[in-house]
Amino acid sequence: MPKPTIVTETTIIKNERRPVGRILGCISFLISSAALIFFITTIVMMGLWIRTWAVFTQERVVGYVTVGGLKTDSFGNKTFSLTYEGLDQEAAFGRLFPWGDKTISHEKFTVDNFAGDSFIVKASFFKWKDWLTFLGTPPLYKISSIRGDYYNGNEFNQKSSRLRSISVNGGEDDFWRSVLEGKSIWNFGAEARYVANPEQLVTNKEQKYEIVVTEDSMILRAAN
């Protein structure tokens, strides 16, 4: 007698995720993605801020002026000694572009009995547009002269004929005149072109000053 066939019914129960679990998973994914994007954006923005701060607050010492103590002779004329020392080995344009101005800026001289009670450093200055500055293009300049001056207007009117101007780096030239007049090929990138004239009073004791080029100007700052 044949054995009876036993039929076993297997019921497969599918373990489906509940809708609440799916929603929580999506929310967790969105939060993680937003946090990652925020982190990356913060790092990028901090990098841009640091870069912006660095390029727009850059300073460079390009020379020194040392003045002796102010003296007054028996006629009331004020004089002082002045020593200039340029630090650049080549001109700013020549350093940036091989075909630029080749005037050497490394120069040193001393002048005694410089008339006046202050001095002015005259320099042509070329400021690039902000986006070029951000990319790291340094400002361009040329120190062309140092002259004595009287800080008091009345004294200047009475004694201006005694004042002297000393040419530096070959003085003003056609190349920089064309730059300042906006006639050079560099004009496309110019934010500003002007002549900087930082002035410093001479005290009764010897003092050394740094000639500092900033992102948008030139200043005189006490070195010690």
5-34: pLDDT as tens digits: 555 555 554 555 567 677 777 888 788 888
Range from 88-92, 180-184, 198-202 that averages highest in pLDDT: 198-202
Judge whether residue 88 has pLDDT over 60: yes
Q: Whole-model pTM?
A: 0.71
Q: Average pLDDT of the chain?
A: 80
DSSP 8-state assignment for residue 152: S
Q: What is the pLDDT averaged over residues 121-134?
A: 85
What's 188's DSSP letter? G
User: Which helix (H) or strand (E) covers residue 163, if one does?
Assistant: none
* Interior angle at CA 37, CA 32 and CA 43, nearest 5: 125
**Residue 131 Cα to chain centre, angstroms:** 13
Residue, of 165 and 45, whose pLDDT is higher: 165
Q: Which run of H or of E encompasses 80? A: strand 78-86
- Answer yes or no: is pLDDT of 82 > 90: yes
Residue given tokens 């110019």 in the structure block: 190
Burial of 185 (0-12, 13-18, 19+ CB in 10 A): exposed
Q: Which of the four pLDDT bands, split at 50, 70 and 90, describes residue 118? A: very high
Distance between CA atoms of residues 107 and 96, nearest Å: 20
Q: Once rounded to an integer, what is the mean pLDDT over residues 177-205?
A: 85
CA distance 127 to 120: 21
Calculate the alpha carbon distances from 93 to 99, 108, 172 in Å. 8, 20, 14
The DSSP symbol for 17 reads: P
DSSP 26-62: HHHHHHHHHHHHHHHHHHHHHHHHHHHHHHHS-EEEE
Residue 171 has what DSSP assignment? S
The pLDDT of residue 3 is above 70 = no
